[in-house]
Amino acid sequence: MDVQRNEYSTIEEIYKDNKKLIYAFLGDYIEDNFTKEDLASVVWIKVIERGEKFMQMDRKWVKNYLRIMVRNTVSDYFKEEEKRRMANTKMAEIFSESGQYNSLEGEIFDRDIREYLQMACSSLGPDEKELIVLKFTYCMSAREISEVMKISEDAVRIKQFRIIRKLRNEINRLKKEDQYGGLT
């Protein structure tokens, strides 16, 4: 009679026993296979980081704990995606003359603004790009950015203002260039 142990002896054993289970749990929330792969990797990294804890748990508890980890990882993923979406919307609003649109023309205009914005961002230096990414991609406050960049909050605000003004001017220049076929 072969009795199964209640605890795992290696991380590899945990992985082999629960790999399909993780994908099944992820399938409850995510349809895209690439995203599932990424999120499964995040979960397994967390398992590896806490390996000793998992090897001391009963196998049934490991499965429950993995389910909770998947749920939390997916929740974090959706929160980050929402932050990025909001930051992109905020960025587009800053550079569009009248904010959000409800018409098809407005959506096309917003798409054009995003294209111009992308081209205008290529004119920024590395520090300017970093500040914009921290502000709009990671939604960091001036205080948080000042800690990361090791400058004062006032310097951050001034730089943000100047960068946004620089981007607006560059967008306007690019629009005129397109409008007049490169003759400015």
> Is 90 within a domain?
no
Task: Give SS3 for 97.
Answer: coil
> Is 169 within a domain?
yes
Q: At 45, which amino acid appears?
A: I
How many residues in total does the chain contain? Answer: 184
Question: According to the model, what pLDDT value does residue 101 have?
Answer: 45
Residue whose pair of structure tokens reads 């003359």 in the numeric block: 97
Rounded CA separation 48/26 (Å): 18
Rounded CA separation 46/33 (Å): 20
Question: According to the model, what pLDDT value does residue 136 have?
Answer: 80
> Is 161 within a domain?
yes
**To the nearest 10°, the Cα dihedral for 122, 123, 126, 129?**
-70
Same structural domain, 101 and 156: yes
Q: At 114, which amino acid appears?
A: R
Rounded CA separation 132/125 (Å): 11
Looking at every residue in the chain, the average pLDDT score rounds to 82
Range of the domain at 154: 96-179
Query: What tens digit of pLDDT does each residue of 46-66 get?
Result: 999 998 999 899 999 999 999
> Is 46 within a domain?
yes
On the question of pLDDT at 5 being above 80, the answer is: no
Domain boundary among 52, 84, 116: 84
> Is 127 within a domain?
yes
Same structural domain, 126 and 169: yes
Question: According to the model, what pLDDT value does residue 96 have?
Answer: 56
Domain count, the chain: 2
On the question of pLDDT at 105 being above 60, the answer is: no
Same structural domain, 36 and 59: yes
Tokens at 63, concatenated: 């499965």
Same structural domain, 114 and 45: no
Same structural domain, 79 and 113: no
Q: At 23, which amino acid appears?
A: Y
Query: What tens digit of pLDDT does each residue of 63-86 get?
Result: 999 999 999 999 998 988 888 777
